[in-house]
Amino acid sequence: MTFIAAAQRTPTLTTIDWVMIALYFCILLAVAWWVVRKNKDTAADYFLAGRNLSWWIIGASIFASNIGSEHIVGLAGSGARDGVAMAHYELHAWCLLVLAWVFVPFYARSLVFTMPEFLERRFCTSSRYVLSVVSLITFILSKIAVGIFAGGVVFGTLLPELKIELGGATIDSFWIGSVLVVVLTGLYTMLGGMRAVAYNDAVQVVILITGSALLTIYGLIKLGGWGELRAICGSEMFNLWKPLIPAGMEGTWAPVKEPTRIAWYFNTNFPWLGMAICAPVIGLWYWCTDQYIVQRALGAPNERVARQGSIFAAFLKLFPVYLFIIPGLICFALAKSGKVPELQAIMIGPDGQTTAAAQGAFPLMVQHLLPPGLRGIVVAGLLSALMGSLAGVFNACSTLFTVDLYEKWRPKASQHEIVRTGRIATAIMVLIALAWIPVVKGAHGLYDYLQAVQGYLAPPIFVVFFFGVFWKRLNAQGCLWAMIVGFVLGLFRMAVDTPVTLGLFGPAKGYAEGSFLWIVNNINFQYFSILITLVSAAVMVVVSHLTPAPDYAKIQGLTYGTATDEDRARTRASWNWRDVAASLVVMAFIIGAYLYFRG
């Protein structure tokens, strides 16, 4: 086996860069080793860190799990092409406040390990099984695949000529980087469990924010300051509101531009109706009910710490707009102004518009703008984002499989056996991730498709959790049928989209124009997500009222209507004015961003 290190002849990373990256891995391994030595051989310790995480660890871990390489690469690329449009999703920090103030009390009271377990207590065992299976499928199809794809983009950009010759075959940097990071992440997740993930996330957040801040500051200095950025990009790229209005529909409310052709599917990637309804539904599902996120809050010792950790995560969630999207705008401005000729040659086409290479704006800036040393810190930040995201999904999948499925099959399993099964489940997730690499690398438009997957699978979960907590009359039958109908609709749309996404019809081909499947495939995913939400809600309400009411004694403390005076008093004692003030600060920053980015 020989390494082809042509990249060393025209180095992207210098010796000092590699030293910084090596230092990052040393810190990571040291923390992992310390955690492994502290671990106890119990399910609570392995899956929830013994329910002993501090508020700042919880907040940092939630943020690190959310911000993967796909966020950095995707948000910066979106910033370079479309301006601040994607900030709508990143300003969903308010959803974490909903977790802190609405859902944390119920989760803390129930002492559950997983979200499906909470659903079982509120409704029935069948709903637990359905949610567990769907969650596992969603994690594998979306989070693992997208994380690997973005990591491969980073390695492919920074080390394009690094290859390995193995048995006559050439393995490129996409494979090398993806395999290396997946295996290392899987190793410390498998050995250390939730505690290793959470503590390493805390380290990774510091590196991620530091690296991204350095890139933003250095880019602004190179460009000539914030005023120069606004002048070059123009008001269009700084307009957070305009992308909400479909082209040609300014001043109208209807989502249909040409009713005779039902052409509203094509108007924009950010239709106003979709952003107003679908985006919050997906955001509330993700931040308040997704095992991948909420598992960190479940690791808190009490309701107070879980709430404080969620509020801290909301504060950290304000950073991506300025540390990931703004660098994309800076990259575009540097390219368009010609201040970095290498970026201009790569990103700006003959017509003066951005090319497809703009998707790699973040790693391109790292490659062509930063000096040695700083480049290594930012690359370490990119690696930490990828590893933190993958570690979160590995741990969540392991917990779901072991607690929701295996323990149901083997109710008398010992604590040691449960932990061992969790480690085996993590190893299986690593193998699945490795098997995904060739699919991810070869598919066309996979990133956009996988973003839509959440829009197809989130609505029924959102409906059963939110309706279930606020409406005590809704019962197990309503929950089960809402999930079944909602998931069937979502899976149907995914089945229609997949052949087109993977290019199975050949280049630039799809369903016959005007056919039923063509219409389904071309409906904006946000509109289809709204449809699933409405259908799921209707099914849940109708079926619940056609069947007997639930036994309110069995769901005591799991809904607002069944909470006791003692429950309310305990929750009121768990927060003070500082928690309220911190939440108001987060909301002030969100409102300020919407007011500032208006073109």
The CATH number of whichever domain residue 232 belongs to comes to 1.20.1730.10
Asked whether residue 17 is domain-assigned, the answer is: yes
Closest CA to 389 of 66, 12, 7: 66
User: Is 488 part of a structural domain of the chain?
Assistant: no
Phi-psi region of 234 (alpha: psi -120 to 50; beta: other; left: phi over 0): left
pLDDT of residue 437: 65
pLDDT at 157: 65
- pLDDT on residue 119: 93
Beta strands in 406-503 (DSSP E): none
Residue 85 falls inside a structural domain:
yes
Among 497, 485, 518, 482, which residue's Cα sits nearest to residue 452?
497
User: Is 96 inside a domain boundary?
Assistant: yes
Within 10 angstroms of residue 247's Cβ, the number of other Cβ atoms is: 9
Q: Determine, yes or no, domain membership for 138.
A: yes
From CA 210, how far away is CA 285, in angstroms rounded?
A: 29
The number of folded domains in the chain is 1
Q: For the chain, what's the residue count?
A: 599
| Distance, CA of 397 to CA of 125 (rounded, Å) | 19
Q: Where in the sequence is the domain holding 217, given as residue range(s)?
A: 2-114+121-245+292-318+374-439+565-596
Q: CA 383, 439, 521: angle at the middle one, nearest 5? A: 110
Tally of CB atoms within 10 A around 253: 7
Please indicate, yes or no, if residue 296 is contained in any of the structural domains. yes
**From edge to edge, which strands make up the β-sheet containing 162-166?**
2-5, 162-166, 169-171
User: Quick check: 327 and 219 in contact, CB under 8 A?
Assistant: yes
- In order along its 599 residues, the chain shows pLDDT tens digits of 333 333 333 346 778 888 888 888 888 888 878 877 776 667 777 777 778 889 999 999 898 888 876 677 778 888 888 888 778 778 888 999 999 999 999 998 888 888 999 999 999 999 999 999 888 887 877 777 677 766 666 676 666 666 666 666 666 666 777 777 778 888 878 877 878 788 888 888 888 888 888 889 988 998 888 989 888 888 888 887 764 444 444 443 334 333 333 333 443 456 667 777 888 898 899 899 988 889 889 888 999 999 999 999 999 999 888 888 898 899 888 888 888 888 878 777 777 677 777 777 888 888 888 888 888 888 887 777 777 778 888 888 888 888 888 888 888 888 888 888 888 888 888 787 777 666 665 555 555 666 677 888 899 999 999 999 999 999 999 999 999 999 999 989 988 887 776 666 655 567 788 788 888 888 888 889 999 999 999 999 999 999 999 999 999 999 999 999 999 999 999 999 999 999 999 999 999 988 888 86
Output the pLDDT for position 185. Answer: 80
Helix (H) or strand (E) holding 343: helix 341-347
Q: Judge whether 390 lies within some domain.
A: yes
26, part of any domain: yes
